Structure 1
Amino acid sequence: MADDQQQLARVPPPMPAPLEAFAGAVPPAPLWFEQALAVEPERTTLMVDGAGIEMLTWGEVGKPGLLFLHGNGAHADWWSFIAPFFARDWRVAAISWAGMGSSDWRDSYSAESFAAEAFAAVEAAQLEAGGVKPIFVGHSFGGFPTLYCSVAHADRLRGIIMVDSSIQPPEKRWKGPPNRPGFGNKVYATLVEALGRFRLAPPQACENLYIADYIARRSLKEVEGGWTWKFDPAIWQRFRMPDLGLLLPQIACPAALMWGERSNLMHAETLDYMIDQMPKDVLLVPIPDADHHVMIDQPLAFVAGLRGLLANWQ
């Protein structure tokens, strides 16, 4: 076999677009999902260092504070079917990071700017009104600012939970994005076409298509000529974050690591490295039969695991 054929043989086939077959129709959803979405959040916009930040809130002011922080390219509504399970006992908030969801884009992004957005949400949502510090829950990329806050702002936190936030050993660490100036998000002529192109990133199968449809519709915006994705496509060219591996040993508040047991980002080598670097009292919670997007793959198991962690810190 020629070298180029050998190379192609090692490349897995592209993951199918999960919503294409529905041609814009909404997939059927179970009752629990519909009941969760019926608990609608209050939607507001915060101004943080010149950028409008989308925020969703649930529950009563004065109860303990819980802040959900989404992953790369996602948005606050990734938590809209999860947060209502906690709204009875918690004051809950979720934000869309700058450059994502319905939040404004920035000229540059950093750990400090993301931390400022998170703590602006703590203040605006009154997550400390009950007299206790809040808990941050960060999925994937959202776990990186969460980790940063557990070091730089540990005195302001009751605890953090990182969900499938992969930090590789130094020799396998990400070296940064390619230099691709001038690129943008593709514009699709119709919403149906755009929904048909939606895929999870990193690629994985999706069994709960009603969740994929819900988040996909809220990942798009109407523009001249059709529909396009809300996230800033240049965010990784304008982003800086400290060495996350160096932050792991410095976690200075109660912490937990949750991950999907099938996640392609949390191989044994990665887990061993992270667990070895983190303080020994960090709690470890694998979620069975889940890939990287734990709240999509196993939403009710995710809720149960999270409830257990939160009860441990009460």
Structure 2
Amino acid sequence: MSNETTIPNHPEEDLIHHQPEWFRKALAEAGEDRFVTSEGSRVHYRFWPARQKNRPGLVFVHGNGAHARWFDFIAPLLTADYNVASMDLPGMGDSEWRTDYTRETYAHAIAAVAFDADLGPKPVIVGHSFGGFVTHITGGLYGHRLGGIMLCDFRVCPAERAMEWFLNDPPRRATRIYPDFETALGRFRLAPLQDCANRFILDYIGRHSLIEVKKGDNRGRGPAEESGWTWKFDPFAFEGLAMGSDHGNIYTTMPCKVAGIYGAESKDYDPETIAYMKEARPGTPVFTIPHAQHHIMLDQPLAFASAVHALMSTWEAEGALAATEAEKVCTAAE
């Protein structure tokens, strides 16, 4: 995600610039790039196979303006037990841009990846922020075919407290084109703004957030008058995008497992909403990761991966990730 506004960082001595060993080992387990078509447009995702055969799987869904490679260092931490995919939502990363976007557009794309990526009979969707929103919609539409969904720093509100993130935004503008890669990379910021001590992670995802454009390209939805580098997301993807006020009903009737993971220091951690989510679905795990802000996987990557693994292990033990006997019969008949 990029933003032109600056934000105070940790003192320089508190920042971690070097790549720790676990991070380097994770990146060495490179994902395979794949594409699938959803509603006529190509959707890009990355895939890491489990080290054992016939294992369940999950797909990570990034937030607003981000991309699949935000999970390049998370996915390999899970492949000892699970197949893992990480996708670019339509209009972001290396997925194609569209002329129209709806919450269902994103949900269908998520489902296309989940059912294409060798993730087992009942894949799990893990969505962060905006990705949590569209993961929630995916669960409402496809929950009967999913093992579960994990909502990461996305709050589910009842109808009377429903929020629209985009409908009242000012008109969107084309993304800025920077003269060279280093200048563009220097403008990389998290959105919403927060500091992050793990500078080595920001350096990595920032480098994968940019694309080179030539004079005359219309990557920013307008002919470029100069060449250079710009952000990979479609700046008009959210123009007029409606979130809806039915999230509470979708949540309570979701026909698959649900969990909520929040940063303990996140501005999106709202005790009132969390209490509603626990009450609306009794027994649903809703919990926080200590010392994490909104971007949980950047602030506390190892704890985040451990939380996802623990939920996957629990749901697998409960049989939620395996096909029912009726589903096995239907699959055999097909």
TM-score class normalised by the smaller sequence: 0.7 to 0.9
Other structure's SS at 2:189 match: coil
Identical aligned pairs, as a percentage?
39
Matches within 5 A, 1:50-199: 50-60=40-50, 62-128=54-120, 132-168=121-157, 170-171=160-161, 173-174=163-164, 176-178=166-168, 180-181=170-171, 183-199=173-189
- Compared with structure 1, are the counterparts of its residues 264 and 90 closer, same or farther at alpha carbon in structure 2 (3 Å cutoff)? same
Greater Cα shift, 263-272 or 166-175:
166-175
Is 1:254 aligned to residue 254 of structure 2? no
Is 1:266 aligned to residue 269 of structure 2? yes
Mapped contact 2:260–2:286 kept (Cα < 8 A): yes
Write the deviation string for residues 186-232 of structure 1: whole angstroms up to 9, x where unpaired: 11111111111111111111110011111111111011221100111
* TM-score relative to the length of structure 2: 0.81
- Residue 284 of structure 1 and its aligned partner are, at CA, apart by 1.6
Mapped contact 1:66–1:137 kept (Cα < 8 A): yes
Other structure's SS at 1:183 match: coil
* TM-score relative to the length of structure 1: 0.86
Alignment RMSD (CA, Å): 2.2
CA distance in 2, matches of 1:214, 1:185: 21
Please, which runs of 5 or more residues in structure 1 have no aligned partner?
1-12
Write the deviation string for residues 244-302 of structure 1: whole angstroms up to 9, x where unpaired: 233222222111100000001122233233334x3112112210000000000000111
- Residue 173 of structure 1 and its aligned partner are, at CA, apart by 2.0
- Residue 182 of structure 1 and its aligned partner are, at CA, apart by 6.0
Mapped contact 1:62–1:126 kept (Cα < 8 A): no
Aligned with 2:278 (options 275, 279, 282): 275
Mapped contact 1:136–1:159 kept (Cα < 8 A): yes
Aligned-partner residue type, residue 129 of structure 2: S
Mapped contact 1:137–1:163 kept (Cα < 8 A): yes
CA distance in 2, matches of 1:186, 1:153: 37
Write the deviation string for residues 21-53 of structure 1: whole angstroms up to 9, x where unpaired: 9xxxx9421110010000001102222222111
Aligned with 1:216 (options 197, 206, 209): 206
Aligned-partner residue type, residue 191 of structure 1: F
Write the deviation string for residues 63-93 of structure 1: whole angstroms up to 9, x where unpaired: 2121111111110101110000111211111
Aligned with 1:30 (options 20, 23, 26): 20
- Residue 141 of structure 1 and its aligned partner are, at CA, apart by 1.0
CA distance in 1, matches of 2:48, 2:145: 21
- Residue 238 of structure 1 and its aligned partner are, at CA, apart by 4.4
Greater Cα shift, 232-241 or 62-71:
232-241
CA distance in 1, matches of 2:207, 2:6: 22
Write the deviation string for residues 89-144 of structure 1: whole angstroms up to 9, x where unpaired: 1111111000111111111112222222122112321222xxx3111111111111
- Residue 308 of structure 2 corresponds to which residue in structure 1? 306
- Compared with structure 1, are the counterparts of its residues 249 and 172 closer, same or farther at alpha carbon in structure 2 (3 Å cutoff)? closer
CA distance in 1, matches of 2:68, 2:172: 27
Other structure's SS at 1:237 match: coil
Mapped contact 1:161–1:255 kept (Cα < 8 A): yes
Aligned-partner residue type, residue 243 of structure 2: M
Mapped contact 2:108–2:138 kept (Cα < 8 A): no
Mapped contact 1:251–1:279 kept (Cα < 8 A): no
Please, which runs of 5 or more residues in structure 2 have no aligned partner?
215-226, 317-334
- Residue 238 of structure 2 corresponds to which residue in structure 1? 236
Aligned-partner residue type, residue 308 of structure 2: L
